[in-house]
Structure 1
Amino acid sequence: MTADSSTPSAADADASSDDATVSNVVLVTVDSLRADAVSPYDTARQSPVIDGLANSGTVFDRAFATGNWTPFSFPSILASEPVFARSGDIGVDESVTLAEVLSDAGIATGGFNAANGFLTDHWGYPDGFDEFEPFVTSVGSSVYSRYLAAHPTVEAWIQLATSPVRRLASKLRGDDDDRPFLDASRMFDVEDAAIGFVDDTDEPFFLWVHYMDTHTPYVPAPRYIREVSDGIVGTHRMLHAHTRTSLGLEVGERTLRELRTLYQATVRQVDASIGRLLDALTDAGVADDTAVLLAGDHGEEFQDHGHLAHYPKLYDELIHVPLVAEVPGLDGGRVDGHVGLDAIPPTVADLLGVDSAPEWHGESLLPALGGDDAPSESGDPNGDALPDDPVVSVTVRGEDVTQQPIPRSLSDGDLFVSARDDDWTYIENVDAGERELYHRPSDPTQQENLAVDPDAEARAVIDRLAPVVDDHAKLLRERGAAAAERGAATDDEVDEDLEARLEALGYK
């Protein structure tokens, strides 16, 4: 696939920005980042760098992930297609990825993943990247390294014991205590690799970085715990919370508050790293023609529906994610209509003047990035520029909601599919025929299932969204059956380092 000069660039989307050009795109994805964890969606949060991107760019208020787990969401983010839709697998091995399309168009591509084992060559994610590093081997082969990676409570003890020494050393050096004792999240590995790519690459380029700090276990540097909490001592919160959760003790209000504090501290830690990456763009002289997109791959639950982390559910705490785009020359603003993360690949391609792959499911959001003031019938200024189709999300649940490992095929449990528009969430256990319906404006935490005894309005919504769910389930089953017939591999055994990293993330 080659670049198409007739494809509109970001500059063409706004007549007042004729001199603006986009030569490069940086896509930042943050694991387990729910929308209300960052200040553009909740002003009580502390994410000044992301807030800066939002203030000068576009915020999509209703952006939704296509799954509750990384392997269920990333086929849409990097290949614009649903999980299982290509080969019956959770990966993108047989998909047409964004990196492949851009690389074929002569654009330099770099991808750096902070050791999420599901975003590795085992599942096809390096395809199309000129430079790709998953940092999985950074877990280390020693017994000591593997033990610490899999035991966050022990790591928290080490953080506590070394914190006074590090703080004293930082004061003597005259700098900040930015770094945790162990870079378990691989944040600095990713940051350094990304900055090196920017420094060494001629334009145009596409850079993808994926942060893991906000994924369990939450082990931020102590300074960020203190920054988002109301006291000067922060690390003891990490110690207490990790000890109780690792021992399976009841999570009371105190522990839940501590976990939320730790989570927000990791958000602030990622925010600071993104700031250093943006500074690197400026230092390299490419900031003025580089678009930056930021998204969460899925959210995180804090007992919103009875659990922690991100088990197989499709409620907003796991599916509603931030999506922010800063494009040079475009005024931006806030977009109220619903969008799915499968819009990311065609949007990035559009920004770089490259044709989207015909296999992609999503549509470019470039028309919505210009801040068009002409309202749609719904009153949304950007509504005419957005797809009308509901956003569909998928999960697979085994016999128990907390069952591990993560399902890797449709045969690993019941298929759950949800469909969302601007106001409604419809969820169906397709195998069991169980239905849920929520009206988010009046029930933002999705507690009242209107499908139990639907009134006329609810019945009309079910009649509209249920066929969308049924069609999606049919598509996935047909593709899965076709893959099985041709003998496509769906669960090859992973190597030892990869298994160690998955175990460190809690996926045994």
Structure 2
Amino acid sequence: MGSDTSHPDEPVSGSSMPAESRSTDADPEVSNVVLVTIDSLRADAIAPYDADRISPVLAGLADDGTVFDRSFATGNWTPFSFPSILASEPVFARNGDIGVADSRTLASVLSEAGIATGGFNAANGFLTSHWGYPEGFDEFEPFVTSVGSSRYSRYLAAHPTVEAWIQLFASPFRRLGSRLRGQSDERPFLDASRMFDVEDAATDFIDQSDGPFFLWTHYMDTHTPYVPAPRYIREVSDGLVGTHRMLHAHSRTSLGLEVGERTLRELRTLYQATVKQVDDSVGRLLDALEAAGVADETAIVVAGDHGEEFQEHGHLAHYPKLYDELIRVPFIVNVPGEDGGRVSEHVGLDAIPPTVADLLGVESPPEWRGESVAPAIRGEAEPDQDPVVSVTVRGEEVTEQPIPRSLADGDLLVSVRDAEWTYIENADTGETELYHRPLDPTQQEDLSADPTDEELAVVEEFAPIAADHISELRDREGGAVGDGGDEEVDENLEARLEALGYR
């Protein structure tokens, strides 16, 4: 499924054409950038945003780097947020498509500047060649089908929930066997999330690189189903929550039974355990940079692509809503020699491509929407303070709809955010919502029905921004040549999407 234009036994190196695309400034201090994106990672799930969380590697990156306290995704689903993360543009904004085909992606801009590029995605089917994501990567692997040639392996690749259940049932026996052999049970019985595939490929890419590089890794561990190795459950809990509790939580949710406080606590524990599992994997990537002798010249960028709901607004996972549990995400940039501290100004994830390009001394193309936050990292200037716009598309049933692949799949919802306020508008029904997050952090009290003068002023400022975005997307919809879903989706890819809940 992936594309790979480099031979595995040859070093990855830059091209011979950097002069035209490189910045005219002095050579950058950063030679390489590693972008780590973590699916379904809400901001308060890691220690830099909540001191009670256990994520020491990410905490270390934050302590020595820059933490953006108010960073927002541009959508509640991977295909709605990644056009901003890897192409600095809104979803649907180019041609009514959810992908990045025909876009000036970050990887393509860097590749043209002579920087080696590698991208490794832990089997999220929306980040594949069908939607244009390999463009610009010298090495790209989505791990959707490359899991072995046996029928059994192919089946498990397309059905991660089945794979997760195998791990759940087998883990007590595996743990006992590990203890009898005096071994650790750190590694999951099955690599249900493709974490080790991504980690191994990224390590190989680092080892083979002999010049400046850009590496992107995308983790799926924190996406449902949450199936961490048992040791991580013990590390983030009181030690009493074990595999049998995992079975209880997954049984109730998979059967559609009522999720009470006990099940919700167990799901949160499992989720936090997957965060710790990813944290350890990121630590091993940092070790690989050290072993390769390039850690001191490599910037690390960490972001969630969207968040995750635990019934703050009545549901689990990430259904089509635009509240903070789904839109507020971590954004951490660790640049050697730069301790930017904490940045309180709001920022959207469309800042990632221009920031990475800036750090590598590459000029951003004019069509990118975001602004580099490298000046804030260096303590030179605050981020651009235009409100952040996010979108989703909601069908008739919140929990039954497939992931939309065009604007025609439901009502278009648009949110506009700054550091304090959230405005949400349904473009099809005209319904609006307004929340003041400092006093209402979970957005439970809609202020739009009877606004004060201050609240009305916010609406008058934000509504035209929403209207402009809606108008732009509708214009693109009218001239769209396709929605990325008109062409037949590969059978294995469609099975993978369905297994992740994306019908």
Q: Could you tell me the TM-score, scaled by structure 2's length?
A: 0.93
Give the aligned CA root-mean-square deviation in angstroms: 1.7
2:254 is aligned to 246
Aligned length in residues: 485
Comparing 175-184 with 389-398, which one deviates more in the overlay? 175-184
Out of 98, 102, 111, which is 1:103 matched to? 111
Quote how far apart the aligned CAs of 1:147 are.
5.5
2:447 is aligned to 450
1:129 is aligned to 137
Please state if 1:497 is matched with 2:492.
yes
Quote how far apart the aligned CAs of 1:179 are.
1.4
Out of 472, 494, 507, which is 2:502 matched to? 507
1:205 is aligned to 213
Q: Which consecutive unaligned segments of at least 5 residues does structure 1 have?
A: 11-20, 373-383
Out of 333, 344, 347, which is 1:336 matched to? 344
8 A contact 1:8–1:350 mirrored in 2: no
Q: String of CA shifts for 1:311-361, please: whole Å, max 9, x gaps.
A: 000000000000001001112200000000000000000000000011100
| Percent sequence identity over aligned pairs | 76
Structure-2 change in CA distance of 1:138 and 1:4 (3 Å): closer
2:274 is aligned to 266
Matches within 5 A, 1:304-315: 304-315=312-323
1:380 is aligned to none
Structure-2 change in CA distance of 1:302 and 1:8 (3 Å): farther
Q: Could you tell me the TM-score, scaled by structure 1's length?
A: 0.92
Quote how far apart the aligned CAs of 1:235 are.
1.0
1:316 is aligned to 324
1:4 is aligned to 22
- Please give the alpha-carbon distance, in whole angstroms, between the structure 1 residues aligned to 2:103 and 2:262: 45
Structure-2 change in CA distance of 1:153 and 1:330 (3 Å): closer
- Please give the alpha-carbon distance, in whole angstroms, between the structure 1 residues aligned to 2:455 and 2:132: 41
Comparing 360-369 with 172-181, which one deviates more in the overlay? 172-181
Structure-2 change in CA distance of 1:307 and 1:288 (3 Å): same
**AA at the equivalent of 2:499:** A
**AA at the equivalent of 2:498:** E
- Please give the alpha-carbon distance, in whole angstroms, between the structure 1 residues aligned to 2:378 and 2:362: 18
- Please give the alpha-carbon distance, in whole angstroms, between the structure 2 residues aligned to 1:134 and 1:28: 15
1:14 is aligned to none
1:167 is aligned to 175
- Please give the alpha-carbon distance, in whole angstroms, between the structure 1 residues aligned to 2:110 and 2:447: 44
- Please give the alpha-carbon distance, in whole angstroms, between the structure 2 residues aligned to 1:134 and 1:125: 9
**AA at the equivalent of 1:3:** S
8 A contact 2:405–2:484 mirrored in 1: no
8 A contact 1:156–1:238 mirrored in 2: no
Quote how far apart the aligned CAs of 1:482 are.
1.6
Quote how far apart the aligned CAs of 1:175 are.
4.1
Matches within 5 A, 1:290-301: 290-301=298-309
- Please give the alpha-carbon distance, in whole angstroms, between the structure 2 residues aligned to 1:252 and 1:146: 35
Helix, strand or coil for the counterpart of 1:385?
coil
Please state if 1:158 is matched with 2:144.
no
- Please give the alpha-carbon distance, in whole angstroms, between the structure 2 residues aligned to 1:279 and 1:198: 11
8 A contact 2:124–2:220 mirrored in 1: yes
Quote how far apart the aligned CAs of 1:371 are.
3.2
8 A contact 2:46–2:58 mirrored in 1: yes
Quote how far apart the aligned CAs of 1:237 are.
1.6
Helix, strand or coil for the counterpart of 2:248?
helix
Q: Which consecutive unaligned segments of at least 5 residues does structure 2 have?
A: 1-17
2:198 is aligned to 190
Quote how far apart the aligned CAs of 1:122 are.
0.3
8 A contact 1:295–1:324 mirrored in 2: yes
Please state if 1:420 is matched with 2:417.
yes
8 A contact 1:153–1:242 mirrored in 2: no
- Please give the alpha-carbon distance, in whole angstroms, between the structure 2 residues aligned to 1:156 and 1:102: 37
- Please give the alpha-carbon distance, in whole angstroms, between the structure 2 residues aligned to 1:361 and 1:133: 27
1:16 is aligned to none
Quote how far apart the aligned CAs of 1:164 are.
3.4
